[in-house]
């Protein structure tokens, strides 16, 4: 039985706010499941741990905006070779460099278009809710969680979406979200509400 769902978020530096939105969207999912979120390393950081995290993840999330930068392409190839579930999000109405346009054309992924952080939050929550429901037995979700996630997947209206996120803060550098009553991972540090 899996108690954690591990995400890897691959994106260039122009999508820091969107990375933060994904972390917030995951934290708002109505399920008592632990989450581990890893990300593309910053320039100068070692690449090997990131590629290992890609191979170990349950879901690989790809974000593309204006440009494609190393090592995003290598991370995608690693995820595809490892047979990972790939969720690829493409920011609409964004001018793209020639390299980004070629990547969009040649990446061999089903792009999910989004216009705003609000769109991205809804889309990632629905995609992850579907993933959890498909593997509900392995994640041992409760009947109430099943119903809540099913309702989330079936929502078709953007009317009830949360306001647009304007500021990035928190787990943009990656993180772990712990479900109540579950064990703290070996690399985790518990933060009290007073410290937050």
Q: pLDDT tens digits for 9-47?
A: 999 888 999 999 999 999 999 998 889 999 999 888 999
For position 182, what pLDDT does the model report?
55
Q: Which residues pair with 10 in a beta bridge?
A: 62
- DSSP summary character for residue 13: G
pLDDT tens for 41-50 read 988 899 999 9
104 C-beta neighbours (distance < 10 Å), count: 15
Dig out the tokens for 91 from the structure.
């920011």
- DSSP summary character for residue 164: P
Alpha-carbon gap, residue 79 to 195, rounded angstroms: 36
Dig out the tokens for 88 from the structure.
């690829």
Average pLDDT in the chain: 84
Q: Where are the domains of the chain?
A: 4-177
Dig out the tokens for 79 from the structure.
């995820």
Q: What are phi and psi of 104, to 5 degrees?
A: -60, -45
Alpha-carbon gap, residue 30 to 148, rounded angstroms: 7
Q: Residue 180: pLDDT above 90?
A: no
Does domain 4-177 sit in CATH 3.40.50.150? no
Alpha-carbon gap, residue 1 to 124, rounded angstroms: 23
Q: Which among 13, 109, 21 is positioned nearest to 70, based on CA atoms?
A: 13
């Amino acid at each position: 039985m899996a108690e954690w769902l591990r995400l890897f978020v691959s994106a260039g530096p122009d999508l820091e706010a969107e990375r933060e939105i994904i972390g917030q969207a995951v934290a708002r999912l109505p399920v008592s499941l632990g989450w581990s979120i890893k990300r593309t390393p910053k320039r100068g950081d070692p690449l090997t741990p990131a590629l290992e995290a890609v191979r170990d993840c349950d879901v690989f999330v790809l974000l593309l905006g204006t440009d494609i930068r190393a090592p995003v392409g290598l991370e995608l190839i690693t995820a595809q070779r490892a047979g990972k579930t790939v969720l690829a999000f493409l920011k609409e109405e964004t001018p793209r460099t020639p390299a980004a346009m070629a990547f969009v054309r040649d990446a061999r992924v089903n792009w999910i278009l989004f216009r705003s952080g609000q769109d991205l939050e809804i889309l990632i929550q629905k995609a992850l809710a579907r993933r959890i429901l498909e593997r509900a037995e392995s994640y041992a979700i409760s009947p109430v969680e099943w119903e809540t996630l099913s309702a989330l997947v079936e929502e078709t209206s953007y009317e009830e979406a949360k306001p647009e996120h304007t500021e990035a803060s928190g787990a943009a550098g990656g993180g772990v979200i712990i479900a109540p009553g579950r064990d703290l991972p070996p690399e985790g540090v518990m933060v009290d509400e007073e410290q937050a």
